[in-house]
Amino acid sequence: MRFEQSLREKVPLAPMTTLGIGGPARYFADITDTEALLAGVDWAGARGVPMFVLGGGSNIVVADSGFPGLVLRLCIRGIETKIEGDSAELIAGAGEEWDALVARSVANNWSGWECLSGIPGRVGATPIQNVGAYGQDTSETLVSVEALDLNDKKLVCLSAADCEFGYRTSRFKTRDRDRFVITRVSYRLKVGGAPVIRYPELQRHLGELKTIAPTPADVREAVLAIRRRKAMVIDPSEPDSRSVGSFFVNPTLTHEQFNLVKSQAARFIGSAEEVPSYPAAENMVKLSAAWLIQRAGISRGYVHGNVGTSTKHALAIVNRGGGSAKEVAELKDLIQARVFNAFGILLAPEPVFVGFEP
């Protein structure tokens, strides 16, 4: 559809987000192809209005006042598949639903995404924070990204190396934030490959089920079961899933920084309790943000007005019904302050804040 036909004014954004919070977009359009995208970019440029690119709204917090510019929701569809030997290449439009793609690949017995089951959102956002879960992340299967470079309004093809992926990050979230609009992503999966079962919780779950030689489909089922227990699968009948998933990134520290945290923790907790840690890339140490939050005194089910932490996972901030972005921001600040006071760590929020004052 042409951009001008899709353009609307004062469109409520809350229903387009998983948190269900936030005011309207001053202007809004669904974008179904690259021509419409270019027209939208030109339209905003000519009027000097700010632009925001929306996917499935599962990793954003929209301000109560909404967004004062043009929101372009990426709805570019289409999936192409090429099989060569044991490799399956998938090229998907940015507007395709991520979990539908995962379900389809798992049903074909292609491995590479089984642990990424149950994550909401659309394909175009998967490279932004290098979406990952249960020991797998997008960068392991991503081949390239097609994107509109807003600097010169040209379509570019970026390789996986060009994307500068890291733990829950990429150049799209750091030095080139807001520069690219992703239109298509190409991934490579393994036909008949063994699923990835690195994550201890997943290993335990499959062990309890006594699954011998698990397939990607078995791993998907196990991941979905684990995620449901934590309300990390979107379910309208589960109020704890009205969230953005994990609100904070698990901190990654050097060993020296970790030693400082351990001594501060010993003073704060006043016991010999170990701070749980996991080895991370480049000789770093990863800590559990959920553990830090709980030990800092914010438990599961903590209430702050109409928002709170999930009763099933301290790392998720949920809209308990009628919540506001102001309350979400207040609770975020409170959690950050408590964790900083207890352990000297400033937790980094995972979602993107839209329409807030800088």
228 carries an active-site annotation = no
Distance CA 69, CA 46 (A): 12
61 contacts: CB under 8 Å, gap ≥ 6? 19, 21, 22, 244, 325, 328, 329, 351, 352, 353, 354, 356
End-to-end CA distance of the chain: 34
Supply the minimum distance, in Å, between the C-beta of residue 166 and ligand FAD.
13
* Catalytic site residue from 6, 105, 114, 168: 168
**Of the two residues 124 and 251, which places its CB atom closer to ligand FAD in the complex?**
124
**Of the two residues 92 and 128, which places its CB atom closer to ligand FAD in the complex?**
128
Distance CA 54, CA 31 (A): 10
Supply the minimum distance, in Å, between the C-beta of residue 49 and ligand FAD.
16
Backbone φ, ψ for residue 82 (5° rounding): -130, 125
Residue ranges that bind ligand FAD, judged by CB under 6 A: 18, 52-60, 74, 94, 119-122, 124-126, 128-129, 131-133, 181-182, 232, 234, 241, 243-245, 352
350 carries an active-site annotation = yes
Supply the minimum distance, in Å, between the C-beta of residue 183 and ligand FAD.
7
Supply the minimum distance, in Å, between the C-beta of residue 56 and ligand FAD.
3
Q: Which of 218, 173, 226 is nearest to 350 (CA)?
A: 173
**Of the two residues 129 and 144, which places its CB atom closer to ligand FAD in the complex?**
129
**Of the two residues 265 and 352, which places its CB atom closer to ligand FAD in the complex?**
352
267 carries an active-site annotation = no
- For residue 263, the one-letter residue type is S
* Catalytic site residue from 241, 243, 246, 310: 246
**Of the two residues 53 and 265, which places its CB atom closer to ligand FAD in the complex?**
53
Whose structure tokens read 């299967």?
141
Q: Cα 50 to the chain's mean position, in Å?
A: 23
- Residue 39 burial (CB count, 10 A): 18
Supply the minimum distance, in Å, between the C-beta of residue 52 and ligand FAD.
6
**Which residue numbers are catalytic?**
168, 246, 350
